[in-house]
Amino acid sequence: MFFHIVLERNMQLHPRHFGRDLREKLVAKLMKDVEGTCSGRHGFVVAITGIENVGKGLIRDGTGFVTFPVKYQCVVFRPFKGEILEAVVSMVNKMGFFAEAGPVQIFVSNHLIPDDMEFQSGDMPNYTTSDGSVKIQKDSEVRLKIIGTRVDATEIFCIGTIKDDFLGVISDPGTTS
């Protein structure tokens, strides 16, 4: 799920940036530092949407660096157990398949793929129903349900399932909402 939240961060700025563009430099550095990172509490920081306020800078002794407390608004993405996500399949093997929903990697074990879908090896490995009407292979889009999440310092990893009603390959992209 996406959230729009306010976060705070202490930014250290080199004295060479002091001047007219100080604020821009600060924001640029903030974006570089924060966007794309991940924390267990908030999930992935997708984008910074605005700066709430920049606090008073504190000059550090000896180095000349200044620390500013910056409050900023950002969009974060955090998957939850039980959430339904749409994801793109990135790898298929005999164990199941891996899919990606933006920065989140999801593994769907073959225990959690409907029993009528069988693994087919070859140069384009895939899971196919016996009548061949449904096929999951690399770059397929699937709708899946998260049943477990694990958050590391730099990545979020999830276990998903497509063994449930209305889950699986999204055949018609127009119906996705």
Give the residue, chosen from 25, 65, 69, 83, that forms a contact with another protein under the rule CB under 8 A: 83
Opening angle at CA 106, ends 139 and 9, nearest 5:
115
C-alpha 113/C-alpha 131 separation (Å) is 16
Give the residue, chosen from 61, 123, 131, 139, that forms a contact with another protein under the rule CB under 8 A: 123
Contact between 126 and 81 under an 8 Å Cβ cutoff? The reply is: no
Give the residue, chosen from 14, 53, 150, 154, that forms a contact with another protein under the rule CB under 8 A: 150
Is there binding between residue 23 and another protein (CB under 8 A)? Answer: no
User: Which CB atom, from 2 or from 18, has the smaller least distance to another protein?
Assistant: 2
* Residue closest to 114 by CA, chosen among 157, 162, 42, 148: 162
C-alpha 78/C-alpha 61 separation (Å) is 39
C-alpha 22/C-alpha 162 separation (Å) is 50
C-alpha 161/C-alpha 144 separation (Å) is 6
**# residues near another protein by CB under 8 A:** 41
User: Which CB atom, from 18 or from 80, has the smaller least distance to another protein?
Assistant: 80
Is there binding between residue 96 and another protein (CB under 8 A)? Answer: yes
DSSP 8-class letter at 22:
H
Q: In this chain, which stretch among 19-27, 30-38, 60-68, 121-129 interacts with another protein, using CB under 8 A? A: 121-129
Contacting residues toward another protein, per CB under 8 A: 1-8, 41-42, 75, 80-84, 91, 93-96, 98, 107, 109, 111-112, 118-121, 123, 125, 145-150, 152, 157, 159
